[in-house]
């Protein structure tokens, strides 16, 4: 009898089906075990129900490509019959199963628990809920369903070889409690402590001094983008802070007890809890096998060589290395990197399922380190050799050359990286404070990118360093015993003997090509062609499908501002000797206006527009035409003006939103379908200096836009917004197609992170530039009174 026959027609209950190992497991069962049924425990998502998640996240994965090919048109029918999802979650008691779910579980013969939070830097409380308590919850659910229906199912719990901790020497396949060096830790105390820590940190993060700091940082990042957006950002920063504290706490606790990280630590306690409660001596025994793989990587052969899901631990490091970002990574050249292809782990689990439960909880390692060791030095050599032959390319199209690795100690690398991060942080903050636009702003944004990468590299070194330095060896005697017991045909079909791996072949021909293919990196020389990202974004913005194009005015379409316009109008008819005083006054007030504007644009405009008090409305309105033709138009960005008209040609509605005054904006009206601007109230033909209407600013712009689109039957998602400042963040976020024009460093950084289109528009070259925005000095003074001024 072979494995397939043994398991034919059995029902499997699988947790973690949407994960890397779980997907491969489900595929293998459905493909190789005749008539086997699989029930997958899936968390209902926020956007998709369980059936949809099963369809989208399991069946549509390219893991199933081979089975689809084999079954052809029968795939949907046959697989739908054999794979079902039930709603539930390993982080809640009873797995959150409903009546039907419990019935499904009760009907199953084998339960494979592969759900885990595999991230090495998960927050402690989350890791505790999933990794520590998860296995016991599954076991409890299995036991409970059995109480009603008879014999409990065989529970196979997937753990990790690293539960053994960071100690040296060989580790046998036995329970942790049987290990000589194992500390007797009270896992329930750890659970309580992690939960309490979360509560404490949530409280602490709400202390005024912390809240002030979050608000300060949100403002530093986004500027005067409006109360709600700043609040939202500050709240995100608060949550991040809590999370980082929990990550740090997990890491510290794990290291204090001899584990490399919170993952291995919580998995280890999870095993202990499972055995204590559901082992043979536990309150509710369940037939139990523990499978401990080492570092799972892409498939050696099944379903196809190189298949991988998600980005695992090694890939980001490998790609960082190939991009030349990671110049050094700690590790001992002779140290063993214990990697195991996913299909070997899957085969081992299936063989364990076929073997059935043994007396007492059995433990199997699935690891390569003893039987077929891969030295860290050899791995690095293989990787370097491969990328020397298949280099990645930088964004100028040059191949990236790789550094020689010197295998430094972990401490040195961390110190270097920390210094680099610190230095870049200082530079980046400095740049952000400068009122840079255009190229400098791009540099700042790039620097921020580099900083993120450096931070990430530091993270890798901190997180994964231990795994390259570990000198533990995971024995696989029991696993090999199981393998020997298989008949020759099964040894072929369900091979899990690590000896079959040819490392040079696996690394160069299987794993790296797969990593690079999935890594979205440049693998060919030459400059990016016409379809680079910006070009694609621009053609989306200029698709006839868009509905509305909204433009900010100052520094988006015209290099000017309300102060310029005022100064020009006010000085137009001024006697030359009065100009000196006027200019002095203007310059003296500038810093105050600037800081007021930075704090609150609405307050600034209200305050500033008082200067118009007593001005004759008609004369200003007349002069405003000259202001436009003589001062503003020469400062316009021709590409911006052309863009507005391009939108109109495409049939999009065009809208100008500006804090400028209606009289000043009047000559621009024909460019737009609609104009929203400020206006001053007047009495007897004289401006009172008070605003009659203030155009919406900040978040109010987004709200106004929402109302506007609604009134005109347009869709915000199909709208385009152009703006230059972070005070327009709300408006940019509100539309489907935000475009950032000549951004300052802050907005450039935001645009870069979010993948927004950035336009660099400049004034027509060769124009005259005047230091001061004064009217009446024009070489080519205008024709007021002659002919029609204005339409």
Q: Give the residue with the Cβ less far from other proteins, 527 or 770.
A: 770
Minimum CB separation from other proteins for residue 609, in Å? 25
Q: Per CB under 8 A, which of residues 374..433 are in contact with other proteins?
A: none
Q: Tell me: does residue 789 bind other proteins (CB under 8 A).
A: yes
Q: Give the residue with the Cβ less far from other proteins, 125 or 626.
A: 626
- What is residue 554's DSSP assignment? B
Q: What is the rounded distance in angstroms from the CA atom of residue 37 to the CA atom of residue 80?
A: 10
Q: Tell me: does residue 788 bind other proteins (CB under 8 A).
A: yes
Minimum CB separation from other proteins for residue 669, in Å? 9
Minimum CB separation from other proteins for residue 763, in Å? 7
Q: Specify the 3-state DSSP secondary structure of 174.
A: coil
Of the candidates 33, 52, 28, the residue with the CA atom closest to the CA atom of residue 42: 52
Minimum CB separation from other proteins for residue 554, in Å? 16
Q: Give the residue with the Cβ less far from other proteins, 168 or 768.
A: 768
Which two structure tokens, joined as six digits, stand for 481? 């015993």
Minimum CB separation from other proteins for residue 527, in Å? 18
Please give the size of the binding site for other proteins, defined by CB under 8 A: 35
Q: Tell me: does residue 765 bind other proteins (CB under 8 A).
A: yes
Is cis: bond before 303, omega within 30 of 0? Answer: yes
Q: Specify the 3-state DSSP secondary structure of 472.
A: strand
Minimum CB separation from other proteins for residue 437, in Å? 19
Minimum CB separation from other proteins for residue 629, in Å? 4
Q: Give the residue with the Cβ less far from other proteins, 121 or 626.
A: 626
Minimum CB separation from other proteins for residue 587, in Å? 23
Buried b (16+ CB within 10 A) or exposed e, 749-787: bbbbeeebbbbebebeeeeeeeeebbbbeeeeebeeeee
CB-facing half-sphere around the CA of 654: CA atoms within 13 A: 23
Rg of the Cα atoms in the chain? 33
Q: What is the rounded distance in angstroms from the CA atom of residue 545 to the CA atom of residue 715?
A: 11
- What is residue 558's DSSP assignment? B
Q: Which of 670, 684, 711, 713 binds other proteins (CB under 8 A)?
A: 670
Stretch that binds other proteins, among 261-269, 484-492, 612-620, 773-781 (CB under 8 A): 773-781
Q: Per CB under 8 A, which of residues 170..229 are in contact with other proteins?
A: none
Stretch that binds other proteins, among 195-203, 425-433, 542-550, 781-789 (CB under 8 A): 781-789
Within 205-327, residue ranges assigned H as helices are 208-222, 227-256, 262-278, 314-322
Q: Per CB under 8 A, which of residues 451..490 are in contact with other proteins?
A: none
Q: Tell me: does residue 638 bind other proteins (CB under 8 A).
A: yes
Q: Tell me: does residue 539 bind other proteins (CB under 8 A).
A: no
Q: Per CB under 8 A, which of residues 639..668 are in contact with other proteins?
A: 639, 641-642, 645, 667
Minimum CB separation from other proteins for residue 778, in Å? 8
Q: What is the rounded distance in angstroms from the CA atom of residue 328 to the CA atom of residue 403?
A: 8
Q: Give the residue with the Cβ less far from other proteins, 384 or 629.
A: 629
Q: Per CB under 8 A, which of residues 575..634 are in contact with other proteins?
A: 625, 628-630, 633-634
Stretch that binds other proteins, among 16-24, 76-84, 361-369, 763-771 (CB under 8 A): 763-771
Q: Tell me: does residue 786 bind other proteins (CB under 8 A).
A: yes
Q: Give the residue with the Cβ less far from other proteins, 448 or 623.
A: 623
Q: Per CB under 8 A, which of residues 502..531 are in contact with other proteins?
A: none
Q: Are 63 and 303 in contact (CB under 8 A)?
A: yes
Q: To which residue do tokens 């992690």 refer? A: 194
Which two structure tokens, joined as six digits, stand for 503? 């490392």
Stretch that binds other proteins, among 103-111, 538-546, 636-644, 710-718 (CB under 8 A): 636-644
Q: Tell me: does residue 671 bind other proteins (CB under 8 A).
A: yes
Q: What are all long-range contacts of 234-238, with beta carbons under 8 Å and residues at least 24 apart?
A: 238/205, 238/206, 238/210, 238/211, 238/214
Q: Which of 359, 404, 575, 769 binds other proteins (CB under 8 A)?
A: 769
Minimum CB separation from other proteins for residue 393, in Å? 27
Minimum CB separation from other proteins for residue 648, in Å? 9
Minimum CB separation from other proteins for residue 674, in Å? 15
Q: What is the rounded distance in angstroms from the CA atom of residue 649 to the CA atom of residue 628?
A: 24
Q: Tell me: does residue 636 bind other proteins (CB under 8 A).
A: yes
Report phi then psi at 572, rounded to 5.
Answer: -55, -50
Minimum CB separation from other proteins for residue 649, in Å? 8
Q: Give the residue with the Cβ less far from other proteins, 379 or 541.
A: 541
Stretch that binds other proteins, among 522-530, 686-694, 735-743, 767-775 (CB under 8 A): 767-775
Q: What is the rounded distance in angstroms from the CA atom of residue 170 to the CA atom of residue 517?
A: 36
Q: What is the rounded distance in angstroms from the CA atom of residue 71 to the CA atom of residue 493?
A: 19
Q: Give the residue with the Cβ less far from other proteins, 576 or 785.
A: 785
Neighbours of 128 (CB within 10 A): 30
- What is residue 78's DSSP assignment? H
Cβ-in-10-Å burial (0-12, 13-18, 19+) of 7 comes to buried
Stretch that binds other proteins, among 44-52, 320-328, 746-754, 761-769 (CB under 8 A): 761-769
- Strand-pairing partners, residue 744, are 437
Minimum CB separation from other proteins for residue 770, in Å? 10
The CA-based angle 293-337-347, given to 5 degrees, is 30
Q: Which of 492, 524, 531, 768 binds other proteins (CB under 8 A)?
A: 768
Q: Are 339 and 297 in contact (CB under 8 A)?
A: yes
Stretch that binds other proteins, among 608-616, 635-643, 652-660, 724-732 (CB under 8 A): 635-643
Q: Are 647 and 720 in contact (CB under 8 A)?
A: yes
Cβ-in-10-Å burial (0-12, 13-18, 19+) of 628 comes to buried
Q: Tell me: does residue 764 bind other proteins (CB under 8 A).
A: yes
Q: To which residue do tokens 């409970």 refer? A: 144
Minimum CB separation from other proteins for residue 663, in Å? 14
Q: Give the residue with the Cβ less far from other proteins, 540 or 671.
A: 671
Q: Are 253 and 124 in contact (CB under 8 A)?
A: yes
How many residues are recorded in the chain? 791
Minimum CB separation from other proteins for residue 783, in Å? 5
Of the candidates 744, 723, 724, 753, the residue with the CA atom closest to the CA atom of residue 735: 723
Binding site for other proteins (CB under 8 A): 625, 628-630, 633-634, 636, 638-639, 641-642, 645, 667, 670-671, 763-769, 779-791
């Amino acid at each position: 009898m072979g494995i397939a026959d043994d398991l034919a027609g059995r029902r499997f209950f699988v947790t973690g089906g949407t994960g890397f190992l779980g997907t491969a497991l489900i595929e293998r069962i459905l493909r190789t075990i005749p008539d086997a049924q699989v029930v997958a425990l899936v968390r209902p998502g926020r956007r998709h129900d369980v059936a949809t998640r099963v369809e989208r996240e399991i069946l549509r994965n390219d893991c199933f490509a081979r089975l689809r090919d084999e079954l052809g048109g029968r795939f949907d029918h046959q697989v739908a019959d054999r794979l079902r999802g039930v709603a539930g979650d390993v982080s809640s008691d009873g797995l959150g199963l409903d009546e039907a779910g419990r019935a499904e579980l009760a009907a199953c013969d084998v339960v494979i628990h592969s759900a885990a939070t595999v991230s090495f830097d998960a927050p402690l409380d989350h890791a505790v809920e999933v990794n520590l308590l998860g296995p016991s919850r599954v076991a409890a659910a299995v036991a409970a369903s059995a109480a009603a229906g008879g014999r409990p199912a065989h529970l196979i719990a997937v753990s990790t070889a690293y539960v053994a901790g960071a100690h040296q020497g060989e580790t046998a396949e036995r329970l942790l409690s049987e290990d000589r060096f194992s500390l007797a830790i009270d896992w329930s105390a750890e659970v309580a402590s992690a939960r309490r820590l979360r509560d404490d940190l949530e409280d602490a993060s709400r202390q005024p001094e912390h809240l002030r700091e979050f608000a300060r940082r949100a403002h530093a990042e986004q500027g005067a983008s409006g109360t709600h957006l700043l609040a939202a950002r500050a709240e995100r920063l608060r949550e991040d802070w809590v999370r980082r504290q929990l990550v740090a706490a997990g890491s510290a606790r794990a290291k204090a007890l001899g584990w490399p990280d919170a993952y291995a630590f919580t998995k280890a306690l999870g095993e202990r809890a499972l055995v204590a409660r559901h082992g043979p001596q536990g309150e509710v025994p369940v037939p139990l096998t523990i499978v401990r793989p080492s570092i799972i990587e892409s498939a050696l052969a099944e379903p196809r060589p190189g298949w991988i899901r998600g980005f695992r631990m090694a890939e980001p490091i490998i790609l960082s290395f190939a991009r030349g970002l990671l110049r050094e990574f700690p590790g001992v050249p002779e140290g063993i990197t214990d990697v195991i292809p996913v299909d070997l782990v899957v085969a081992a689990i299936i063989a364990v399922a076929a073997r059935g439960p043994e007396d007492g909880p059995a433990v199997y390692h699935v690891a390569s380190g003893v039987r077929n060791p891969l030295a860290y030095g050899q791995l690095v050599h293989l990787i370097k050799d491969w990328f020397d032959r298949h280099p990645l390319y930088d964004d100028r199209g040059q191949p990236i050359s790789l550094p020689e690795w010197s295998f430094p100690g972990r401490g040195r690398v961390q110190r270097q990286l920390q210094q680099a991060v610190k230095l870049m942080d200082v530079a980046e903050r400095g740049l952000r404070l400068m009122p840079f636009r255009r190229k400098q702003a791009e540099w700042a944004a790039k620097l921020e990118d580099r900083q993120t990468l450096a931070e990430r590299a530091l993270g890798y070194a901190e997180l994964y360093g231990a795994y390259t330095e570990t000198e533990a060896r995971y024995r696989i005697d029991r696993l090999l015993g199981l393998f020997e017991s298989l008949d020759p045909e099964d040894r072929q079909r369900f091979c899990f003997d690590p000896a079959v791996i040819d490392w040079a072949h696996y690394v160069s021909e299987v794993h790296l090509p797969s990593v690079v293919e999935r890594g979205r990196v440049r693998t060919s020389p030459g400059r990016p062609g016409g379809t680079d990202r910006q070009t694609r974004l621009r053609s989306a913005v200029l698709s006839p499908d868009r509905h509305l194009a909204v433009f900010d005015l100052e520094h988006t379409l015209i290099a000017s501002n309300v102060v310029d316009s005022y100064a020009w109008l006010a000085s137009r008819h001024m006697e030359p000797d009065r100009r000196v005083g006027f200019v002095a006054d203007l310059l003296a007030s500038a810093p105050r206006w600037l800081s007021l504007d930075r704090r609150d644009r609405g307050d600034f405009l209200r305050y500033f527009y008082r200067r118009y008090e007593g001005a004759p409305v008609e004369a200003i309105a007349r002069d405003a035409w000259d202001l436009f033709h003589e001062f503003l138009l020469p400062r316009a960005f021709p590409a911006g003006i052309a863009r507005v008209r391009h939108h109109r040609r495409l049939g999009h509605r065009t809208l100008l939103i500006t804090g400028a005054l209606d009289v000043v904006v009047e000559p621009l009206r024909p460019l737009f379908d609609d104009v929203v601007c400020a206006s001053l109230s007047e009495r007897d033909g004289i401006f009172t200096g008070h605003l009659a209407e203030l155009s919406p600013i900040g978040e109010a712009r987004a709200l106004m836009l929402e109302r506007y689109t609604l009134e005109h039957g347009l869709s915000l998602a199909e709208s385009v917004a152009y703006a230059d400042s972070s005070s327009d963040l709300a408006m940019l976020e509100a539309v489907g197609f935000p475009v950032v024009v000549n951004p300052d460093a802050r907005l450039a950084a935001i645009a870069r992170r979010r993948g927004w289109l950035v336009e660099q528009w400049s004034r027509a070259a060769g124009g005259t530039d005047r230091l001061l925005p004064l009217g009446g000095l024009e070489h080519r003074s205008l024709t007021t009174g002659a002919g029609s001024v204005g339409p």
